[in-house]
Amino acid sequence: MNEKKTTKELLDEFMNSEAFKNQKKLLEERQKTIKTGDNVIHLEYIGELNETDLLEINEKLNSVGLELSSFNKSGVMYNFLEEYSLVTFLVLNQPLIIELLKGVGTNALWDVIKNSLLSLRTKIKGEQYNKNTAGTIEQKEIKFGIKVNLDTNTGFNMELDGNVSDEIIEKSLDKVLDFLNEQKPREKYQIPDYVYYSDKEDKWVKLDVMKEISKKSKSKKKKK
């Protein structure tokens, strides 16, 4: 009878496997395009964008002193809360958000960021990615939007819905800074809120992800 392997033995086995080595090599290569700095806007995406697309966005950002960082996560293993997460997104870091909310160069900076978001949304609209769950591959629509970090404890995933008109998206982008200006920093870290734009209510609607997960968990228990 085979002895059951310990957690350490299983972990060591995985760390020495070809799959892990290939993942490590892939990550090292992909991380070469990641940049840091207060003027950097980071883009995470699944391989639906090419070098020409990235250069075009970088040129737009360069015109106002910003720089594009990017990470292609195609083929990279990662976990996320699918319903409340974005697949492809631009990250707006804290220093840039503070500058925008203070109104320092808001028009020029925000106009270019909005233009870049609209351009990216057009390029990936209708695109899908393959989600591998328990050996089953399922095609899912790419969720696109903005990840905003107000501080280390407070963040938002703001979806730019691919199924609504460009007019509504432009209207929603015009209200992003107003929405962020109304938010209060959290005292403790929490999973970023998921935010979507309601055309009916003419505003961004915020969902507390932890509360939503708790509601669904309680609902499932009641059905049992």
For residue 175, what pLDDT band results from cuts at 50, 70 and 90? Answer: very high
Over residues 196-207, the mean pLDDT reads 95
- Dump the DSSP string for the chain: -PPPPPHHHHHHHHHTSHHHHHHHHHHHHHGGG---STTEEEEEE-S---HHHHHHHHHHHHTTT-EEEEEE-TT------GGG--SEEEEE-HHHHHHHHHTTTHHHHHHHHHHHHHHHHHHHTT-EEEEEETTEEEEEEPPEEEEEESSSS-EEEEE--TTS-HHHHHHHHTTHHHHHHT----SS--PPEEEEEETTTTEEEEE-HHHHHHHHHHHHHHH-
Per-residue pLDDT tens digits for 156-173: 999 998 788 999 999 999
Stronger pLDDT, 197 or 222, i.e. the higher one: 197
What is the per-residue pLDDT for 29? Answer: 67
Per-residue pLDDT tens digits for 50-86: 999 999 999 999 999 999 999 888 766 665 667 888 9
**186 pLDDT more than 60:** yes
The proportion of the chain whose per-residue pLDDT surpasses 70, expressed as a percent, equals 77
Per-residue pLDDT tens digits for 93-132: 999 998 898 875 557 899 999 999 999 999 998 888 777 6
pTM of the entire structure? 0.81
Stronger pLDDT, 12 or 184, i.e. the higher one: 184
What is the per-residue pLDDT for 139? Answer: 83
Q: How many CB atoms lie within 10 A of CB 19?
A: 9
**212 pLDDT more than 80:** yes
What span, in angstroms and rounded, lies between the C-alpha atoms of 41 and 141? 24
What span, in angstroms and rounded, lies between the C-alpha atoms of 22 and 76? 10
- Kindly report the average pLDDT of the chain as a whole number: 84
For residue 218, what pLDDT band results from cuts at 50, 70 and 90? Answer: confident
What is the per-residue pLDDT for 40? Answer: 95
What is the per-residue pLDDT for 214? Answer: 84
Residue owning tokens 């460009």? 166
